[in-house]
Structure 1
Amino acid sequence: MDAGSQLRNIAYLSIGSNIDDREEHLKQAVKRIGDLELVSIDQVSSVYETEPVGYTEQGPFLNMAIKIRTDLSAESLLQKTQEIENSGGRKREIRWGPRTIDLDILLFNEENITLEQLTVPHPRMLERAFVLIPLQEIAPGIELSNGKPIEQYIEELTGKEGVHKWKSFCGEDVFGHFES
């Protein structure tokens, strides 16, 4: 049994970037998450290219999802992901605007969390195919709310926003070897 399987919390994160070099920003974010103490990366989705949502006067995004195991609390995980965003050059000047890296906690165990800085499940994830499609790739059949499977949410979003597989990784360790 590896050390990562002993960590008690399971979380799913969404990662996105639309400022060049987008792929490098994703790689660095995944590496930094994997380097966190008390965090082990279990799965990494393929990378999907999507048109911006909300503020549309910007370039397309690359998006992906990861599954991690951690002994961090949801609040501590949020703090760590925000530190990664900030050190990666994230600027919060325009809501839903361009960003080097965007990290969101989608799910944390099966908990419902409502704090000033954090809401889990992520409050807009069910409206965003660019979040749900990579999540489904690494967690097929996962039930999100009211026992409704993720596939049903995706089906309802089909055609509403363009999500195209940009790079498929076929379950390989896509961004190098993760060690915790």
Structure 2
Amino acid sequence: MCDKPLPVVAALGLGGNLGDPAHAMATALQALNRREDCSVIAVSPLYRTPPWGKTDQNDFLNACALVKTTLDATALLAACFQLERCMKRERLERWGPRTLDIDILLYGDERIETEELHIPHPRMLERAFVLKPLADIAGDWQVEGRSVHRWLAQCDSGDIRLSSENGEQSWWQMPSPL
């Protein structure tokens, strides 16, 4: 008899500022949700955010999602990278423009430090563009001894706005106009 892995809830951060990032994020979330080993259980509204790190580029659209998965964290990362490639993501420069970026922010209560994966995601606790949408769907999740809500209260989130494209949490389930 083969034991099935127990599902874990992972928090993902999604963003992009090239092409149609809302479409790219929705396509990626729908693809994850179609997998037998993943189920999207919550998605934040879309937020329009100024660029971070490299500021001479277009604003980003950002969102967060909770995914229940039986994939281990490394396999989930590989699935996210595959989705980025499908959306024509090119990794040309750090913090540069992109069609789609998917980061694993949290994977259950695990702490993971490998060459390719750090969980909790490094710098997530100082980035309002991550904490604001994450607080919408997992505000009580404890990270480094504090809730996401408390971490967000320590960040300047004044320049983060709900996207005029769709402030609904079901934006990702809308059929594509294409």
Q: TM-score, normalised to structure 2's length?
A: 0.89
1:149 pairs with one of 147, 150, 155? 147
Assess if the C-alpha contact under 8 Å between 1:85 and 1:103 holds in 2.
yes
How many residue pairs get matched? 168
1:1-180 equivalences under 5 Å are 8-145=7-144, 147-158=145-156, 162-166=159-163, 167-169=166-168, 171=169, 173-176=170-173
Q: Given residue 174 of structure 1, which amino acid in structure 2 is its aligned partner?
A: W
How far 1:57 moved relative to its partner?
1.3
Q: Distance in 1 between matches of 2:86 and 2:36?
A: 17
Q: Given residue 148 of structure 2, which amino acid in structure 1 is its aligned partner?
A: I
Q: Distance in 2 between matches of 1:44 and 1:11?
A: 12
How far 1:176 moved relative to its partner?
2.2
Assess if the C-alpha contact under 8 Å between 1:125 and 1:131 holds in 2.
yes
Q: Distance in 2 between matches of 1:114 and 1:7?
A: 21
The runs of 5 or more residues in structure 1 that have no matched partner are: 1-5
Task: State the secondary structure of the residue aligned to 2:172.
Answer: coil
How far 1:156 moved relative to its partner?
1.2
Task: State the secondary structure of the residue aligned to 1:78.
Answer: helix
Assess if the C-alpha contact under 8 Å between 1:7 and 1:38 holds in 2.
no
Assess if the C-alpha contact under 8 Å between 1:64 and 1:131 holds in 2.
yes
Residues 81-139 of structure 1, C-alpha deviation per residue, up to 9 Å, x if partnerless? Answer: 00111111001111100000000000001000001000000011001000001001001
Q: Given residue 21 of structure 1, which amino acid in structure 2 is its aligned partner?
A: D
Q: Distance in 1 between matches of 2:83 and 2:128?
A: 24
Q: Given residue 8 of structure 1, which amino acid in structure 2 is its aligned partner?
A: P
Q: Given residue 31 of structure 1, which amino acid in structure 2 is its aligned partner?
A: Q
Task: State the secondary structure of the residue aligned to 1:175.
Answer: helix
The runs of 5 or more residues in structure 2 that have no matched partner are: none
Q: Distance in 2 between matches of 1:152 and 1:10?
A: 21
Task: State the secondary structure of the residue aligned to 1:29.
Answer: helix
Q: Distance in 2 between matches of 1:37 and 1:77?
A: 13
